[in-house]
Amino acid sequence: MKWVLVAAMVVATVLGDLLQSHEMKQAGEQSVSARGFARLLHVIAQRRLLILGIACNAVSFFSFMALVQTEPLSFAVPASSASFVLETLLAKFVLHEKLGARRTAGALAVLAGVVLVGG
């Protein structure tokens, strides 16, 4: 059951992040001041794919809540880094960002780490 929750969390996170990254780059630079957050909320309201991205984050969030109810935090959080490996692949093949050999090696190390943490 814990791996079902991890899978739900990872897929929802990956989809949500891709949509957010794509939409936020088009929206331009944002800040974290009080006015910055207000402007950020305005940007969110205008972009439908961004709202879908946030909905994915909600699914991921609920999966995480269920996971930490029964599993230790020291498993749940590192297990969620599996999304990073998947996102790095999608950043390359969907967003067409450049990934060097060291980045790829790093992503593989994270993947190996996730396997060990879950074992």
Partner 1 sequence: MTNPSQRSAALLKTYSVLLFFLALKAAGNSAMAWGMKQVPERMSINPALYLHAMLNPFVAMGVVALILALLTRMALFSLADLSFVLPVTAIGYVIAVFLGKVFLHETVTHQRWLGTLLIFAGAVLVGSTSRNTTASRVGSA
| Binding residues vs partner 1 (CB under 8 A) | 17-18, 20-21, 24-25, 27-32, 36-37, 40, 54, 57, 61-62, 64-66, 68-70, 72-78, 80-81, 84, 87-88, 91-92, 95, 97-100, 102-103, 105-119
Residue of 91, 116, 115 lying closest to 103 (CA atoms): 91
Q: How far is the CB of 56 from partner 1 (least distance, A)?
A: 11
Residue of 16, 94, 89 lying closest to 49 (CA atoms): 16
CB of 6 or CB of 20, closer to partner 1? 20
Separation CA 93–CA 74 (nearest Å): 31
CB of 21 or CB of 52, closer to partner 1? 21
Q: How far is the CB of 45 from partner 1 (least distance, A)?
A: 13
Separation CA 81–CA 2 (nearest Å): 15
Residue of 119, 111, 106, 109 lying closest to 75 (CA atoms): 119
Q: How far is the CB of 36 from partner 1 (least distance, A)?
A: 7
Q: How far is the CB of 6 from partner 1 (least distance, A)?
A: 13
**CA dihedral sign, ordered 71, 77, 82, 86:** positive
CB of 7 or CB of 95, closer to partner 1? 95
